[in-house]
Amino acid sequence: MGKYMLTAFSKNGETLLDESFEATTEKEAKEFGEKRLEELKLLDSTHRCTNASGKLVLFHR
Protein backbone atom coordinates (compact mmCIF):
# COMPACT_ATOMS: atom_id res chain seq x y z
CA MET A 1 0.00 0.00 0.00
CA GLY A 2 1.50 3.33 -1.07
CA LYS A 3 0.88 6.85 0.14
CA TYR A 4 -0.31 9.53 -2.28
CA MET A 5 -0.96 13.26 -2.05
CA LEU A 6 -3.83 14.96 -3.87
CA THR A 7 -3.62 18.74 -4.29
CA ALA A 8 -5.80 21.26 -6.15
CA PHE A 9 -5.24 24.97 -6.73
CA SER A 10 -7.34 27.97 -7.72
CA LYS A 11 -6.32 30.16 -10.68
CA ASN A 12 -4.62 32.61 -8.30
CA GLY A 13 -2.54 29.83 -6.69
CA GLU A 14 -4.57 29.33 -3.52
CA THR A 15 -4.57 25.74 -2.27
CA LEU A 16 -8.11 24.36 -2.47
CA LEU A 17 -7.35 20.76 -1.52
CA ASP A 18 -4.35 19.13 0.11
CA GLU A 19 -4.99 15.62 1.39
CA SER A 20 -3.16 12.33 1.57
CA PHE A 21 -4.51 8.84 1.05
CA GLU A 22 -3.32 5.27 0.50
CA ALA A 23 -3.77 3.12 -2.59
CA THR A 24 -2.50 -0.25 -3.74
CA THR A 25 -1.50 0.82 -7.27
CA GLU A 26 -0.92 4.02 -9.23
CA LYS A 27 -4.02 3.24 -11.29
CA GLU A 28 -6.11 2.96 -8.12
CA ALA A 29 -4.62 6.23 -6.85
CA LYS A 30 -5.45 8.01 -10.12
CA GLU A 31 -9.03 6.72 -10.06
CA PHE A 32 -9.47 7.71 -6.41
CA GLY A 33 -8.04 11.17 -7.11
CA GLU A 34 -10.35 11.77 -10.06
CA LYS A 35 -13.38 10.61 -8.06
CA ARG A 36 -12.47 12.80 -5.08
CA LEU A 37 -11.94 15.86 -7.30
CA GLU A 38 -15.28 15.23 -9.00
CA GLU A 39 -17.03 14.99 -5.60
CA LEU A 40 -15.55 18.35 -4.60
CA LYS A 41 -16.22 19.91 -8.03
CA LEU A 42 -12.50 20.54 -8.54
CA LEU A 43 -11.89 18.54 -11.73
CA ASP A 44 -11.52 21.73 -13.79
CA SER A 45 -9.04 23.32 -11.37
CA THR A 46 -5.30 22.78 -11.60
CA HIS A 47 -4.59 19.59 -9.68
CA ARG A 48 -2.03 16.85 -9.17
CA CYS A 49 -1.65 13.53 -7.46
CA THR A 50 1.83 12.32 -6.52
CA ASN A 51 3.23 9.23 -4.88
CA ALA A 52 5.49 9.38 -1.82
CA SER A 53 8.60 9.83 -3.97
CA GLY A 54 7.04 12.71 -5.92
CA LYS A 55 6.10 10.92 -9.15
CA LEU A 56 3.04 12.40 -10.83
CA VAL A 57 0.21 9.93 -11.33
CA LEU A 58 -2.44 12.55 -12.17
CA PHE A 59 -2.05 16.13 -13.42
CA HIS A 60 -4.33 18.75 -14.93
CA ARG A 61 -3.41 22.36 -15.67
What letter does residue 14 receive in the DSSP assignment?
Answer: -
Element (H, E) at 51: strand 46-51
Helices (H), the chain: 26-39
- Domain assignments of the chain as residue spans, ordered by start: 2-60
Q: What is the pLDDT of residue 61?
A: 92
The predicted model gives 46-52 an average pLDDT of: 97
For the segment 9-41, what is each residue's pLDDT rounded down to a tens digit?
999 999 999 999 999 999 999 999 999 999 999
pTM, full prediction: 0.92
Q: What is the pLDDT of residue 29?
A: 97
